[in-house]
Amino acid sequence: MSEPLVRLENVRFAYGERMILRDISLSIPRGQVVAIMGGSGCGKTTLLRLIGGQERAVGGRVLVDGQDVGALDREDLYALRRRMGMLFQFGALFTDMTVFDNVAFPLREHTDLPPELINDLVLMKLHAVGLRGAAQLRPGELSGGMARRVALARTIALDPMLLMYDEPFTGLDPISLGVIGQLIRRLNNALGASSLIVTHDIQESLQIVDYIYFISEGRVVAEGTPDEIRKTSDPFVHQFVHAEADGPVPFHYPAGDYATALVGGAG
């Protein structure tokens, strides 16, 4: 088996005093779609930022295509990022440009292609996400689902080797959600890329991904293929899959004894 595209080795990360990731090791094999799941605020997005080089790990190594992201200087990092695509939670489209210009942006910034060729490429990318007809609209005129598809077209403009999705399913209606899910899978196969999805939408993910990691309190607590995850008896995964309010992830924020707090005044 070939070397995985992304490998995290014992990664630790903290914002100041606050520990976010304690000890994370995981890998994304080439050609696969991998999901990372966990409750809100467990450090999933931070993981993406580490792989993209926007944050540097405190300990451990983040390897992308054999390069240690944390050790790169700005120029090498930018060279690496040209081969990565990241889809932000709400698309992050440039609001002062049309849909067409948004998708053309990376092409114009990083290539010297003639305008006709850029035109063709952009229309191809937009066609792939089904929005060729919306090329002249402005981001403000798009629905949430459409905006995310445009952002997806922009993300794949330079045919990246690694695609990262930050909560791609948040705030979408069931139809748009299905569309995005299918697009993620299809584009991954069509581009021969590898994908990493950060999400907490378990049902959608189980249908499209090859492998899932569960993260809680800065550690990988469970992992497996969708079939393994469905069958597992791990209490954390069980709680997550069935959306139970209480379990290994407690309902209550850690606090002192309830009775003492009520009787004794300030807790």
Partner 1 sequence: MGDVLRKLGSLAVNGVWQLGFIARFFVLILRYSGQSFLRLHLTIRELYFSGVMSLLIILVSGLFVGLVLGLQGYEILQRYGSSEAMGTMVALSLLRELGPVVAGLLFASRAGSAVTAEIGLMKVTEQLKAMDMMAVNPIARVVAPRFWGGVVSMPLLAALFSTMGIFGGWLIGVVFIGVDDGAFWSQMRAAVDFRYDVLNGVFKSTVFGVAVALIAVFEGYDCVPTAEGVSRAITRTVVSSALAILALDFVMTSFMFRGL
Query: Cβ of residue 108: shortest distance to partner 1, in angstroms?
Result: 10
> Residue 93, interface with partner 1 (CB under 8 A)?
yes
> Residue 2, interface with partner 1 (CB under 8 A)?
no
Q: Which of residues 9-48 bind partner 1 (CB under 8 A)?
A: none
Query: Cβ of residue 159: shortest distance to partner 1, in angstroms?
Result: 13
Query: Cβ of residue 143: shortest distance to partner 1, in angstroms?
Result: 16
Work out which of 32, 89, 119, 176 binds partner 1, going by CB under 8 A.
89
Q: Coil, helix or strand for 19?
A: strand
Q: Which of residues 133-162 bind partner 1 (CB under 8 A)?
A: 151
Please list the helix, strand and coil fractions of the chain in percent, rounded to the nearest 5, in that order.
Answer: 40, 25, 35
> Residue 111, interface with partner 1 (CB under 8 A)?
no
Work out which of 38, 43, 52, 168 binds partner 1, going by CB under 8 A.
52
In whole angstroms, what is the distance from residue 78 CA to residue 242 CA?
Answer: 41
Residue 254 tokens read as 């850690």
In whole angstroms, what is the distance from residue 164 CA to residue 253 CA?
Answer: 31
Backbone phi, then psi, for 5, in 5-degree steps? -65, -45
> Residue 84, interface with partner 1 (CB under 8 A)?
yes
Q: Which is nearer to partner 1, 15 or 94 (CB)?
A: 94
In whole angstroms, what is the distance from residue 59 CA to residue 30 CA?
Answer: 25
Q: Coil, helix or strand for 32?
A: coil
Give whole-number Cα distances, 8 to 12, 43, 60, 104, 220, in Å. Answer: 10, 14, 8, 32, 12
Work out which of 39, 60, 106, 178 binds partner 1, going by CB under 8 A.
106
- Interacting residue ranges for partner 1, rule: CB under 8 A: 52, 54, 78-79, 81-82, 84, 86, 88-90, 92-96, 105-106, 109-110, 151
